[in-house]
A = this chain, B = another copy of it.
Amino acid sequence: MHIGLIGLGKMGGNMRTRLRNAGIEVTGFDQNPDVCDVATVEELIAALPSPRTIWVMVPAGKITSSVVADLSDRLDAGDLVIDGGNSRFTEDFKNAELLAAKGIDYIDVGVSGGVWGLENGYGLMVGGSTAQVERLMPVFDALRPEGPREEGFVHVGEVGAGHYAKMVHNGIEYALMQAYAEGFELLEKREDIIRDVPGTFKAWQRGTVVRSWLLELLVRALDEDDDLSEIEGYVEDSGEGRWTIEEAVANAVPVPTISASIFARFVSRQDDSPAMKAVAALRNQFGGHSVKKSDD
């Protein structure tokens, strides 16, 4: 099998390697010429056997949209475009429609695993037609982890389903991380009692109810920096968590832990909180409680 891969960053680059290791032929293109197999998308298209299969692995949003739009102009009926980025599932409906007008097929794949995927394989959640998914199974089998196929790969439904599943996966991920983080703070706060915080997390890796891959990663982080004093408590979010909340709200699904996780990230990025200024101002008004003056 021979596929094209557009986007050779942290994720795409590793995926190319993993695919090649499994015997899949890959022609890769990226904005960065140092990592490219071909100089242009045109060359990439020319290099592929027909019907062509092109996996797009670029940042979600405008960049993905423009790559898909460009491909819709260049590809032929019968070709297939796969979006493996962290796109919102609603984008898939637009992409599929745009491509279908040219007879080009579309599949969306939610890909999990981060920088560990090269070694461990990637968890794959796929949306699209059964025919195309079956045709692509060698690619999916190359990317997914060792072990039973159904433990690292799922054909979730029609177009959009892969990214919907990935969105929910990431929403869960946010809350899992926050849960361990709250536990970390509870242990840190009572170092009069807990003499070995990293050791406690380490000991949770076997036999306990909370054992998980994220726990193992926290153990690694604490091995490197045992009280995380070198890291600032500042956390970005990349969109999927927000979409999860929007979907939850649109569908009347209560998501208190996922939303709490996102809100904690928002707060972590604020120099000062307008809301808490207002609370401080109110306390001062009714109780004469003193306020801290801003430094400026």
Which chain B residue shows the least CB distance to A157? B195
A:116-154 near B, CB below 8 Å: 116-117, 120-125, 144-147, 150-154
Q: Check A267 for interface membership: any CB of B closer than 8 A.
A: yes
C-alpha gap A10/B107 in the complex (Å): 49
**A145 CA / B204 CA spacing, docked (Å):** 11
Q: Give bound CA distance, A262 to B222, whole Å.
A: 28
Most chain B C-beta atoms within 10 Å of own C-beta, residue among A190, A206, A208, A230: A208
User: For residue A293, which residues in chain B have a CB less than 8 angstroms away from its CB?
Assistant: 230-232
Given A213-B209, A263-B255, A228 contacting B176 (CB threshold 8 A): no
- The answer to whether A249 and B251 have CB atoms under 8 Å apart is no
Judge whether B205 and A151 touch: CB under 8 Å.
yes
Q: Say yes or no: A266-B281 contact (C-beta < 8 A), given A113-B208, A207-B145.
A: no
List the B side residues contacting A112 at CB < 8 Å.
Answer: 204, 207-210
Indicate if the CB atoms of A193 and B286 lie closer than 8 Å: no
Report yes or no: B185 in contact with A228, Cβ–Cβ below 8 A: no
Complex contact A235–B115 (CB within 8 A): no
* A89 neighbours in B (Cβ, 8 Å): 193
Copy tally for this chain in the complex stands at 4
For the complex, give the distance between the alpha carbons of A43 and B276 in Å. Answer: 45
For this complex, into which size category does the number of interface residues on chain A fall? 35 or more
Q: Which of B117, B188, B212, B215 contacts A274 (CB 8 A)?
A: B188
Residues on B with C-beta less than 8 A from A203 are: 123-125, 150-154
Given B196, B213, B269, which contacts A252 in the complex, CB threshold below 8 Å? B269
- Max chain B C-beta neighbours (<10 A), residue from A153, A206, A215, A242: A206
Contact B116–A178 (Cβ < 8 Å):
no
Cα A89 to Cα B287 with chains together (Å): 21
Q: How far is the CA of A266 from the CA of B205 in the complex (A)?
A: 29
Select which of B160, B228, B257 is within 8 A of A178 by beta carbon.
Answer: B257
Residue of B nearest to A170 (CB): B209
A73 to chain B, nearest CB (A): 29
Residue of B nearest to A165 (CB): B200
Contact at A249–B260, with CB atoms within 8 Å? Answer: no
A181's partner among B117, B235, B262, B278 (CB-CB below 8 A) is B278
Partner of A254, one of B173, B205, B266: B266
A residues contacting B by CB (< 8 A) are 10, 89, 112-117, 120-125, 144-147, 150-158, 160-161, 164-165, 168-173, 175-190, 193-196, 199-200, 202-215, 217-218, 220-222, 225, 228-236, 242, 244-269, 272-289, 291-296
Other A-B pairs beyond A232-B280, A254-B275, 5, CB < 8 Å: A144-B206, A209-B286, A231-B293, A254-B267, A265-B279
Pairs A-B, 7 closest by C-beta atoms: A212-B212, A233-B276, A154-B203, A123-B208, A175-B179, A256-B260, A123-B207
